[in-house]
Structure 1
C-alpha cells in the first residue's frame, strides 16, 4: 500500500510538504508528499547508527526524491522505536532538520502510535505491531500499552523471540545427539555451534539479525519441522496474551474490539495468524480481527497532520516548531 495515510489517500495540501518517517529496528523508511507527487527513502534502522541522525537523513533523502517544490513549510511525522513508551527527544531531530534549511512543524511519537494510526486510524481498538520486536497499543476508555520492552526484557512472540527460540531448540537438539535441518540451518547462518558462546559474548548479533532467522524457521515449519511449527504457534499465543492484557487495562471500547496486526511478522500468514486468532478469541471473546488499513509509515504520514490524530494518541505525541529554539507545544505524554 502506498503510504498515503490510514484508510485511504490523504487530501492534497499544496501549502505544505508532508513527510512521514518510520524508524524501526531493521530499517528507517520515509515518504514525502506534495500535492500528487511523492518521494521515498530507505536507510538503516535503529541499530545501525544514531537514531536521530537516521531520521534526518531519511527526511532529506525523501525530499530529494520528491524533487524541487515551492518554498513551503514541512509537516513531519515520526514514529520511533526504542522509546519504550517514554516521551521522545525531539531537539536533535529538530536541529538536524533546521540544518537542512527547513521550516515547519515536527511531531514525534512512539512507533506504537504510528502503527496504530496506520492500521486502524482514529477509532478505538487494538493494534499489535510485530516485526523484530513487538508492541501492542489499545485505545478504549484509556490508552494502554503492552510489551515493547525490547529484546532482552520482552518482545514476546516477536521475530527476535522466534529466532532466539529456534537457536535454543537447535542447541538442545545438538546436546541430545539429534542433528536435523534446524541445527543445520543455525550452523549455516551463525557458524559452528561450538563457537556460538564466544560469538555471542564477543560480537553479539543485533536483534534484527536474530530476527532475520525467523524467515528460515518459517520455511522449516512449512516443510513440516515440528519444533519450528511449535515455535510459531507459541509466538501467536504470546501476541494474543499481550493484546488481551492491553485491552483489560484500556477498558471497554464497545461490544466488539477491532484488533489489527501489522508488521513483517504477520507476513508469515497462517503460521502466525491461525494460532494468534485462536488464542485471541479464547482469551478475549469480544475481539474482532480486522485487516490493517495501512502500515506504520502510513501512520507516520497521518501523524504529520495533527488533525488526523485522535485526542488519546495526540496526548502521546510531542509537537514542536522547527524554527523555534524552545518547544512551543508539548502535550503531556502520559
Structure 2
C-alpha cells in the first residue's frame, strides 16, 4: 500500500510518498499550489506534478491527501471541481482535499477534536472537529486586517522600532543594526529612506525580519516585540480552544524551540490551564496520516 501526502502552499508544493506505516519513500517539491484567487488550474498542475513525481517508482497510490490554504476559500462546487481535477490528473479518484490547518492539526495529534494555532508569515487559530472539519476560526485575516503575532506583524514591529530609533525617539541595539544591514544600508539612513525601501517591496516583505527578532531575542526591543506577539497569539488561540481538547502549535515560528514558542507555551499554561499543548511536525506528515486514515482499508 502507498499513499501520498501533499502540503500545497502559496510559494511551494511538497508531496511525499509513504508506505502503510507512514515511512517516507520519496519526495518532490513543485511551485505554488494555492487554488484561491482563480488559480485552480495552476494549483492543480503543481500538485499533480509533485504527486506524479513521487509515484514514478510505484505507478499509483491507494489514496492522496492534499492540504492547502486556498481550499477553505473555495465555494463547495469549486471545491468539488478542484478535487475532481486532481483525481483526473493523478489517475486516482481517492483524493481528499482539506484546508492546511487540518493537516497541521493531524501532524500534531491523533485526537478527533481540538484546535491548532499556526504562526508563520501570518497567524490563525482554528478548531478542528472529526479530524476533517473546521468548526471555528480566529484571525488569519491577512496582513491588512489581522494576522496578529505572525511573522509579518513581528517584522513590521521591528521596522517601526528602527524608524523610531532613526528619528531619535528610541535607543538602537543589535536588532536595529541587523535590520538595517539586512536592508542593505552601509550607513545610517533617514527614516524616510527606510519607509521608501519598504514601500518598494511587496506588503509582506517585512516578514523577513521576524527571523532577526527571534535571533536577537535578548535585545530589549526584540523582547518587547516577542512578548506582545505571544500575547496576541494566545488571545487568538483562546477564542477557539475548547476545554479538555488538545491545542497544536504549528508554523515556522511555533514548531521549533524559539523564544516566541516558549513565551506562547508559558502564557498558555497560565491562560488555559489543563490544556494539552502539542507541537506539530511537518504539515505534510499530517497529510500522510490523514491519507492512511481515509484510505487505509482501500
Q: Tell me if both proteins adopt one fold, taking TM over 0.5 as the criterion.
A: yes
**Within the alignment, does 1:212 sit opposite 2:208 as a pair?**
yes
User: Counterpart of 1:42 in 2: which secondary structure?
Assistant: strand
* Pairwise CA distance, 1:202: 4.1
- The answer for the alignment partner of 1:30 in structure 2 is 15
- The answer for the alignment partner of 1:95 in structure 2 is 85
> Do the aligned residues in 2 keep the contact of 1:130 with 1:158 (CA within 8 Å)?
yes
TM-score (norm 2): 0.79
What is the distance in 2 between the residues matched to 1:51 and 1:172? 43
Q: Given the superposition, is the C-alpha separation of residues 161 and 76 from structure 1 closer, same or farther in structure 2, using an over 3 Å criterion?
A: same
* Pairwise CA distance, 1:62: 4.4
What is the distance in 1 between the residues matched to 2:273 and 2:295? 30
Deviations 1:129-159 (A, max 9, x none): 2212222122479922222212222111112
* Pairwise CA distance, 1:261: 0.9
* Pairwise CA distance, 1:171: 1.0
**Within the alignment, does 1:155 sit opposite 2:147 as a pair?**
yes
- The answer for the alignment partner of 2:95 in structure 1 is 106
* Pairwise CA distance, 1:297: 0.8
Q: Which has the higher contact order (CA 8 A, sep 6+)?
A: 1
Deviations 1:13-41 (A, max 9, x none): 2xxx4222112345321112356772212
- The answer for the alignment partner of 2:176 in structure 1 is 183
> Do the aligned residues in 1 keep the contact of 2:55 with 2:61 (CA within 8 Å)?
no
What is the distance in 1 between the residues matched to 2:24 and 2:164? 54
Mark the runs of 5 or more structure 1 residues left unpaired by the alignment: 1-12, 310-334
- The answer for the alignment partner of 2:278 in structure 1 is 290
- The answer for the alignment partner of 1:240 in structure 2 is 234
| Two-structure CA RMSD over aligned residues (Å) | 3.3
Counterpart among 115, 131, 138 of residue 146 in structure 1: 138
Q: How does 1:1-334 map to 2 (within 5 A)?
A: 13=1, 17-33=2-18, 38-45=25-32, 50=39, 53-54=42-43, 56-70=45-59, 72=60, 75-82=63-70, 87=75, 89-90=78-79, 91-92=81-82, 94-95=84-85, 98=88, 100=89, 102-139=91-128, 143-176=135-168, 178-191=171-184, 192=189, 193-205=191-203, 207=204, 209-221=205-217, 224-247=218-241, 251-252=242-243, 256-267=244-255, 269-292=257-280, 294-305=281-292, 307=294
Deviations 1:248-272 (A, max 9, x none): xxx54xxx33222122112552511
* Pairwise CA distance, 1:225: 0.7
Q: Given the superposition, is the C-alpha separation of residues 203 and 185 from structure 1 closer, same or farther in structure 2, using an over 3 Å criterion?
A: same
Give the stretch that moved more between structures: 133-142 or 122-131: 133-142
> Do the aligned residues in 2 keep the contact of 1:25 with 1:132 (CA within 8 Å)?
no
What is the distance in 2 between the residues matched to 1:131 and 1:172? 26
Q: Given the superposition, is the C-alpha separation of residues 77 and 52 from structure 1 closer, same or farther in structure 2, using an over 3 Å criterion?
A: farther
Q: Given the superposition, is the C-alpha separation of residues 261 and 267 from structure 1 closer, same or farther in structure 2, using an over 3 Å criterion?
A: closer
> Do the aligned residues in 2 keep the contact of 1:78 with 1:303 (CA within 8 Å)?
no
* Pairwise CA distance, 1:56: 3.2
Give the stretch that moved more between structures: 184-193 or 120-129: 184-193
Q: Given the superposition, is the C-alpha separation of residues 291 and 242 from structure 1 closer, same or farther in structure 2, using an over 3 Å criterion?
A: same
Q: Given the superposition, is the C-alpha separation of residues 304 and 41 from structure 1 closer, same or farther in structure 2, using an over 3 Å criterion?
A: same
Count residues in correspondence: 281
Poorly superposed stretches of 4+, deviation over 6 Å: none
